[in-house]
Amino acid sequence: MTAKAACSDFLHFFRSWVSNPLRVAAIAPSGDSLARIMTSEIAALDGPIIELGPGTGVFTRALLARGVSEADLTLIEYGPEFISSLQARFPTARVLQMDAAHLADADIFEGEPVGAVVSGLPLLSMSPRKIVSILAGAFAYMRPGGAVYQFT
Ligand SMILES: C[S@@+](CC[C@H](N)C(=O)[O-])C[C@H]1O[C@@H](n2cnc3c(N)ncnc32)[C@H](O)[C@@H]1O
């Protein structure tokens, strides 16, 4: 990513945080080092993969760098302000604008269960009830041996 693109992502993210600090919960997107650590155990064969709260797509890019196919990615983002740029950047990924707490009801996967869930969600600013709904939804789609990756 060029310095200009990184700066534009920072401004986009910062404005989102100003308008919704509890949901966005960070003033800037995660850095590339964290993205590499978050995705370091994931390989192409783990697809399909769910990413929760992709924001500007830092972890999404790291997943692609790990060899995961873009078509194997489902990006669940609640913030409407991030949706069009995610769709433009990752045109063959599935981008769903929804609250991750409704994952289980949404019935988003019919076929193969997912091998990994990567989450940048601000769980610490959510109620215990909401956290349980999100995790129950994530595990409901997971295959045996799959994993959830969360940073906070
Ligand atoms: C701390 S930011 C992390 C963004 C990105 N993963 C990163 O690390 O740069 C949290 C992201 O989760 C999204 N988010 C917050 N609550 C959500 C929810 N209930 N469902 C889906 N996305 C949510 C926010 O809009 C934001 O994009």
Q: Are 76 and 100 in contact (CB under 8 A)?
A: yes
pLDDT band at 85 (very low <50, low <70, confident <90, very high): very high
Taking only the tens place, the pLDDT of each residue in 34-61 is: 999 999 999 988 889 999 999 999 999 9
Q: What is the CATH number of domain 29-150?
A: 3.40.50.150
Calculate the alpha carbon distances from 134 to 55, 83, 127 in Å. 17, 20, 11
Does residue 100's CB lie within 6 angstroms of at least one atom of ligand 1?
Answer: yes
Residue 2 CA to ligand 1 centre (angstroms): 23
State how far the Cα of 131 lies from the Cα of 107, in Å rounded to an integer. 18
Does residue 59's CB lie within 6 angstroms of at least one atom of ligand 1?
Answer: yes
Best mutation site among 56, 86, 102, 121 for ligand 1 pocket (most ligand atoms within 8 Å of CB)? 121
Give me the residue spans of the domains in the chain. Answer: 29-150
Mean pLDDT of the chain: 94
Residues 6 or more apart in contact with residue 107 via CB below 8 angstroms: none
Residue 59 CA to ligand 1 centre (angstroms): 11
Does residue 9's CB lie within 6 angstroms of at least one atom of ligand 1?
Answer: no
Residues 6 or more apart in contact with residue 117 via CB below 8 angstroms: 49, 50, 51, 52, 138, 141, 142, 146, 147, 148, 149
Residue type, 115: G
Residues 6 or more apart in contact with residue 11 via CB below 8 angstroms: none
pLDDT band at 1 (very low <50, low <70, confident <90, very high): confident
Atom of ligand 1 nearest to the CA of 34: 8
Residue 111 has pLDDT above 80, yes or no: no
Provide the sign of the torsion angle of the four alpha carbons 21, 39, 107, 127, taken in this order: negative
Does residue 77's CB lie within 6 angstroms of at least one atom of ligand 1?
Answer: yes
Calculate the alpha carbon distances from 50 to 4, 10, 80, 132, 140 in Å. 28, 24, 18, 17, 12
Residue ID of nearest Cα to ligand 1 atom 8: 30
Pairing of strands 94-97, 73-77: parallel
Q: Are 64 and 89 in contact (CB under 8 A)?
A: no
Q: In 3-state terms, what secondary structure has residue 26? A: coil
